[in-house]
Amino acid sequence: MYYKAVKKLAMVSVAGLALLGLAACSSSSSSSQGTSADVVKVGVLQYMEHESLTAARKGFVDELAANGYKEGEKLVLDYQNAQGDQANLQTISEKLVDKNDLILAIATPSAQSLATVSTETPVLFTAVTDPLSADLVESIEKPGGLLTGTSDQAPIDKQVELLGQAVPNAKTVGILYTTSERNSEVQVEEAQKLLEKAGYKVVLKGITSSNEVQDAASSLMKDVDAVFVPTDNTLASTMTMIGELSLANKVPVIGGSTDMVDQGGLLTYGTNYEALGRQTAQMAIKILKGAKVGETAVEYPKTVNLHVNEEMAKKLGVDTSKLSVSE
């Protein structure tokens, strides 16, 4: 009788321990799932390394953190840089789409690559000049698919106006751009039209890679009084060199963005990319909270600045004290 009682007690104890173990596992699993649900996985695909794109990424991450999505706490950030290599884009895009809740595409090539592989994951783009001509959205107001974001399109008419004030004796203006970048082509078309309307003779100079920038810029600056450079990824990554050539030839460069001006341009009325990144993060937060990507309108820069590189102005002998932009 004693043996049976002990055996029965042991069986009850084992059963009890098993139930406790299952309860603990269930509690642990539930806790783990709860933690996982609280963490957002965001992938970032940056096309190449240069100041404007990096500033946009920084602004995006900083704004997420300011709104509670801090890396290492509520945010897992998967940052990838294609280093300007088209072949890298496809491979990286496929990996990012598989592992993340949302992806930030920085620059047009990144957005185009992600658009071809994403079937469920929402993609926000930034530093894209014309999302329509890049076939990223159906319309600005209603993108209609898995992509939306912010354009970096700056008012080129204001840049042309400032060029006239800073270099009043200019008669010929060169435009330097990358022929394979759709965002550059869009700006070149508009800039050429506006410059010719303002009475300038326009000389176009296209390049296909960063290896051609030095020779192309040197050649162009021998024939013009000023150079216009759009928000072009290849040229943005070589602005320090372009700035040195600007000084050597005494030819001012009107840059497409504030960061390009800081790296060697004279002036711009252009997009602040850190602010643009923050603006994009605000859109990301809305989407993470349930807003539909296809119904979230593309936004244009809310922060556009008159930006002057005073050191370049002094070295070029350009008076920028009376520059102003008309309303």
Sheet containing 201-207: give its strands across: 201-207, 172-178, 226-229, 253-255, 267-271, 304-308
Whether residue 129 contacts residue 246, with contact meaning beta carbons closer than 8 Å, is answered with no
99 contacts: CB under 8 Å, gap ≥ 6: 41, 43, 78
The whole-angstrom separation of Cα 146 and Cα 124 is 8
Instruction: Assign domain 39-152+272-302 to its CATH superfamily.
Output: Response regulator (3.40.50.2300)
For the beta carbon of residue 45, count every other beta carbon within 10 angstroms.
28
Short-list 159, 180, 216, 165, CA closest to 319:
165
- Amino acid occupying residue 96: L
Please report the pLDDT score of residue 36 as a whole number: 53
The whole-angstrom separation of Cα 257 and Cα 234 is 13
221 contacts: CB under 8 Å, gap ≥ 6: 174, 227, 245, 246, 249, 251
pLDDT 10s digits, 288-301: 999 999 999 999 99
Decide: residue 14, CB within 10 A, 0-12 exposed, 13-18 middle, 19+ buried: exposed
pLDDT 10s digits, 224-252: 999 999 999 999 999 999 999 999 999 99
Mode of pairing for the β-strands spanning 75-81 and 40-46: parallel
SS3 67: coil
The whole-angstrom separation of Cα 175 and Cα 62 is 34
Please report the pLDDT score of residue 38 as a whole number: 83
- Amino acid occupying residue 88: N
Please report the pLDDT score of residue 182 as a whole number: 84
* Domain extent listing, the chain: 39-152+272-302, 156-271+306-316
Element (H, E) at 225: none
pLDDT 10s digits, 248-274: 999 999 999 999 999 999 999 999 999
Q: Same topology for domains 39-152+272-302 and 156-271+306-316, yes or no?
A: yes
Contacts 24+ apart (CB under 8 A), 64-70: 64/281, 64/284, 64/285, 67/281, 67/282, 67/285, 69/40, 69/42, 69/285, 69/288
Please report the pLDDT score of residue 31 as a whole number: 33
Whether residue 312 contacts residue 263, with contact meaning beta carbons closer than 8 Å, is answered with no
In the predicted model, residues of the chain with pLDDT beneath 50 are: 1-35
pTM for the whole structure? 0.82
Q: Which CATH class is domain 156-271+306-316?
A: alpha beta
Tracing tokens 């970032």 back to the chain, one arrives at 44
| Residue 282: both structure tokens together | 């605000």
